[in-house]
Copies of this chain bind each other. A is one copy, B any other.
Amino acid sequence: MTQKLALLDLVYDDLQRVEVKMRSIGAGAYAPLAEAFLNLLNSGGKRLRPALALAAYGLLADRASEKAIAAAAAVEMLHNATLVHDDLIDGALTRRGITTLNAQWNKGATVLAGDYLFARAAGFAAETENVRVVQLFAETLRTICEGELRQLFSSRQWRQSKESYYPRIFAKTASLFASSARSGAILGHATAAQEQALYDYGYHLGMAFQIVDDILDYTADEDTLGKPVGGDLRQGIVTLPFFYFLQSQPDPAPIVSRLDTALSLPGRSSGANDGLGEIIALVRASGAIEAAYTEAQEFCEQAQANLEALPANPYRAALTELAEYTVARGA
């Protein structure tokens, strides 16, 4: 994150507490597992989800309690657990420019390492001693898994409807953003209306965030992404820019045929010269990026509107700025 966000300043001390809490699990754990986990934490990540939980809490209450720290650690740990399994499923060898666990360990060990992180995430959720936070945690994990499964089973269905995209990115990203904000709200003793507003903010922010991520997968360079460009297309995942692109084609059949051919070539996962580069260039030139970006902006505006019912304080201002930043990444 090159721009310095007010949010990360506001929750800086609490995020350090979250970091200490997450790292503490290395202490009692099986040594190879602890090492792998610390590598994962060290590889970066913006810690947006715990920051959201802490901001929602801070907006309503005083300095974060141990329970709020536990909730923030739970959402970040859950996120990391899903990353470990995602990388295994995708066969990804790098993330954030760093070698994945998947590239270092065998399949079985990687599955178990992810499971272990789920367990620790659930443990942090339980430390909140709040039944609703735990229920939310379980529900979100369920949503994420089910969404990933749908994505897997709809892979290479190039002509799937645009409407199928939104539930998929809700499951993948917005659900955890929304739950992170709601967890902080619950522990900050929000009213029902405040809790809903923060959930909705997290939802809209998450949707905007994922659309921008899906745009960057077409427009960014490999160094910025920390992974090969066009990864979604290579995995047969249909995202918003591709929908708009295919819609703009008078005859989509030749495109679909080229994609099917490209994805059946050996060695394509390496991002080698598989002909997909040309299709990515076509998507970029088609106006699809701009159309997708407009949608991200709309979600961002809705997120900002959700904040209006909440107390006007530095946390609210920081969350407004975060929404702006989220779409600015894709501009």
- Cα separation A246 to B79 with both chains bound (whole Å): 44
- Which of A117-125, A157-165, A303-311, A317-325 is the interface stretch? A117-125
Cross-chain contact A108 with B89 (CB below 8 angstroms)? yes
Number of interface residues of A (CB under 8 A): 43
Given A33-B149, A107-B89, A153-B32, check contact A142 B123 (CB 8 Å): yes
Asked whether any CB of chain B lies closer than 8 Å to the CB of A9, the reply is: no
Contact partner of A112 among B107, B118, B145, CB < 8 A?
B145
Q: What's the nearest-Cβ distance from chain B to residue A311, in Å?
A: 29
Chain B residues near A75: list those with CB within 8 A.
none
Inter-subunit contact B126/A129 (CB<8 Å):
no
| Interface mask (A25-45 → B, CB under 8 Å = 1, otherwise 0) | 000011011000000000000
Chain B residues whose CB sits within 8 angstroms of the CB of A30 once the complex forms: 146, 149-150, 153
CB distance from A274 to the nearest CB of B (A): 21
Report the Cα distance A138→B70, complex, angstroms: 14
Residues of A58-99 whose CB lies within 8 A of B: 85, 88-90
Flag whether A109 is at the interface (Cβ < 8 A): yes
Interface SS of chain A: helix
A134 in the interface, Cβ–Cβ < 8 Å? Answer: yes
Chain A interface (Cβ < 8 Å from any Cβ of B): 29-30, 32-33, 85, 88-90, 106-109, 111-116, 118-120, 122-123, 125-127, 129, 131, 134-135, 137-139, 141-142, 144-146, 148-150, 152-153
| Given known contacts A32-B153, A123-B142, A126-B134, A148 and B112 CB-to-CB distance under 8 angstroms | yes
Enumerate 29 A-B pairs (CB-CB under 8 Å) in ascending A order. A30-B146, A30-B153, A32-B153, A85-B111, A85-B112, A85-B115, A88-B108, A106-B152, A109-B152, A111-B111, A111-B114, A113-B149, A115-B115, A115-B141, A116-B149, A119-B138, A119-B139, A119-B144, A119-B145, A120-B138, A120-B142, A122-B138, A122-B141, A123-B138, A126-B138, A127-B135, A131-B131, A131-B134, A134-B134
B115 touches A29 (CB 8 A): no
Contacting residues, chain B, for A113 (C-beta < 8 A):
149
**Once the chains bind, are A109 and B153 in contact (CB under 8 Å)?**
yes
B115 touches A145 (CB 8 A): yes
Closest beta carbon of chain B to A83's beta carbon, Å = 12
Is there contact, CB below 8 Å, between A142 and B116? Answer: yes
